[in-house]
Each structure stands twice: as C-alpha cells, then as structure tokens.
Chain A
Amino acid sequence: MESKSTTNIFQKETWTNLGLSAIIPICAIGVYLWWLIYHSLPALSAWATYSVLPLQKGSHLGASIEFFLYDTPKVMMLLFLVVFGVGIIRSYFTPEKTRAFLSGKSEFAGNVLAALLGIVTPFCSCSAVPLFIGFVTAGVPLGVTFSFLIAAPMVNEIALGLLYGLLGWKVAAIYLGTGLFIAIFAGWVIGRLKLENHIEDWVTQTNVSAVTMEEEKLTFNDRIVYGWDAVKEIIGRVWIYVILGIAVGAGIHGFVPEGVMASIMGKGSWWSVPLSVVIGVPMYSNAAGIIPVVEALLGKGAALGTVLAFMMSVIALSLPELVILRKVLKPRLIATFVGVVACGILFVGYLFNMII
C-alpha cells in the first residue's frame, strides 16, 4: 500500500480519532511553517546559487540556476496547498450529483452552472466518454454537457494556484474569468447549432441501467484524508512535468535576451495569437508544466494575450482527448467543438493584447 510509505499521522484511523480541537492547531502550525519556508525561498535560492555553487552573479547560467532553485520548491509548495484545499472542496461534489443538478436545466443558465461545476467536480479526461454518455442520456442538453467538458480541464485548480503564485492575482483572475467565458460561450454555441444527430448512434441506443449508489457519509476528517489523497495522487503524477517545465523556463530566463520574445510573441504581430493556438492544440502538457514556461515567456516581453492563448490551447484541447471523444462524437461535431473553442481562445488572446 502506498500510504504505508508516508508518515503515520496521515493514516485515516489517526485522523478520524482526532477531534476538531486538535485538527485546528495542527493545521495552523502547518500553515505557519509553510508560510515561513515560502518566504525564505528567494534568499535561500540566491544563497545556494552564488555561495554554495561557484557561480557568478549576472552570468547566464547563474540566472538560470537561481530561477530553477527558486521556482521548483515554490511551485511544489503552492501546488501542495492548492491541491489539498481543492481536494477538500471536491469531496463535496461527485459527477453523479453534478449530473442530477444539471439535467433539465435551461440552456443559458445550464451553460453557466456547468462551467462552474466543471471546476470543482472531480474529473479525469480518461472518463470523459462515460461521463459524456451519462450526461446526455440523463437529459443534460448537449451544449451544457460541452460547457462542462470544456471547463473541467481548462479551468483547473493547478493552473489557478500556480498563476496566482507566480504571476499574481490579476492574471489568475483573468484566467479564471476568460476560461469560464470560453466554456460558457462554446457550450452555448454548440447547443444552438443543434448537433444532437452528430453524436454516434450507439450512445443514444445504449440502454443505461440507472444505478443508484448509496452516498458515502463523510466527516470533516474524512475530507482531510480525501484532500491528502489528492495531494499524493496529483503531485505524484505531475511533479516531473513541473520540473521539466521549470527547467525550460529557467533556460529561457537565463539565456534568451530581453525583448526577443517581444518581437515574436509581442503585441505588434497580429499573427502571433493564431500561431500560438495552432502550436498549442496538438501539444499535450498539463497546467503544471506549461505555467513555468509561461512565466518565463512573459518575463521576456511576450504579450499576455498571446501567452494566455497558447496556454489555454495546450491544456483545453489535446489530441489524446479528441481521440477518446471520437468514440462518441461524429467527425463534424468534433470539428465544431475544436473550432468553437479555438475561436473563443483567439478572441481572448486578441482582447488581452488590446486592453493590456
């Protein structure tokens, strides 16, 4: 069992025996320690780069290494906090509850709710197909289902936490707002286009036996365990992408001259937004890996809209997911889905290049 390798305090039994009076101080001490370490990272990374390692201040390699040593623990710590927090929130939601809530909702309100629920409902893109079938056969409108399927990967807690930590709350808020906008807009358009007959026939013919599972009753302590499981699972899966992403970011930070990105990905070139989308769609990475790269690109003069468009097309549209969805969607519906989402991303990219 995986949990045996970690410390005993996170065993389910230990936690469920603790009263709330014990949990609150433990969490408070944990948060304080976290905060203390987090705020000493700039000094620690500079010290490690220039005092422990024989590197010269102002050198390319020094700048890269310092960036890497600073960002890696910082990103990991942020991820830990965000994934844990969102894990606890997610323990209140299940796909089943979301479906029951969304079935029979009117179109526009349904799109908005679906996009919002897409953020907090636990979802893995490998279960996109059963989820799609479950939603559609339960009477959730097609467009509303799409709002959910777009928001779930695009607006995710990892990206939100990292953007907040690395680029500040404004960029995080812009990302949240525009991501929701695209999910709502694209789902609404797909709903208006009346493409229900472009779902593969077997989906609607499937005889879905309505399974009712008894709902688990969770105590707050169970939810803490759930959050901790999410941390183990998600960080265990993405840490390698994070480190690779930061390594690429560090390379850009140290070696790419100031302003080079301004000419390629800057505001001046109108073609940079569509180009970012075209490059981004077939790329498959997760938010954890792409955001350190985004941070470095912004630092070198790339425009926010262009970078946002690139990031969104990498995480929202991916080839593997399209291949999975092809099982339930006919080619024309897939093409419409990609087209509408890509248009939304283009719009967001141009909008932010214009106003910022």
Chain B
Amino acid sequence: MDIKVLGPGCAKCNKTAKLIQEVIEETGADATVEKVTDMMQIASYGVFGTPSVIIDNDVKCTGKVPKKDDIKAWLNK
C-alpha cells in the first residue's frame, strides 16, 4: 500500500505522517508512508486542505489530522 501525506511541512502534516507511521507499526500493515511537500505535486492531486492523505491514489481525508481509528480502517482494506 502506498500512502502519501500531502502538506508543506506544517505541524499538522507532521503529526498526520507520524500517526500513520504509528498505526503501521502497531498493526504491521504492509504500507509505506511518503511525505509530499512540493507545492506543484500537492496541487496536482486537486486537494486544497493540508494535510491530505492519499492512499493508492485515493483521497482519504483532507484538511485535518485523521483519527487513529480512521487510519486503521483505511489500512485494513
């Protein structure tokens, strides 16, 4: 699973990436997290809220730090 966290490096974006990393470690899910900080790339996903979470090219959440339970649900699919 290919997870991308879009955000220019603000506090919320880092928190989101950290949370996802934690969930991956806890559940042992087969996934990688990548932070995307480049504005051009962020824009090309068509989202405006940051942080946004993209999993396998699907926008899962935008403009807020997701809850841990939500992340678990995404990873289980």
Contacts and interface: CB of A to CB of B under 8 A. Distances in A.
A203 B40 CA distance: 8
Given A122-B63, A211-B59, A130 B50 contact: yes
B39 A127 contact: no
Nearest to A203: B43
Interface string B28-56: 00000000000110111111111000000
B40 to A, nearest CB: 6
Contacts of B59: 211, 213
Given A126-B7, A126-B8, A211 B46 contact: yes
B12 interface: yes
A177 to B, nearest CB: 28
Interface residues of B, number: 21
A327 B46 contact: no
Chain A interface size band reads 20 to 34
A173 interface: no
Contact of B63 (A127, A211, A324): A127
A165 interface: no
B20 to A, nearest CB: 14
Interface in A26-73: none
Nearest to A127: B50
Contacts, number: 69
A314 B20 CA distance: 36
A44 B8 CA distance: 45
Nearest to A324: B8
Contacts of B43: 129-130, 133-134, 203, 206, 208
B48 A127 contact: yes
A130 B39 contact: yes
B48 to A, nearest CB: 4
A301 to B, nearest CB: 39
Contacts of B46: 134, 208-211
Interface stretch (A94-102, A111-119, A242-250, A284-292): A94-102
Contacts of A206: 40, 43-44
B31 to A, nearest CB: 20
A131 interface: yes
A129 B8 contact: yes
Interface string A315-333: 0000000001001100000
Interface of B: 6-8, 10, 12-13, 39-40, 42-50, 59, 62-63, 68
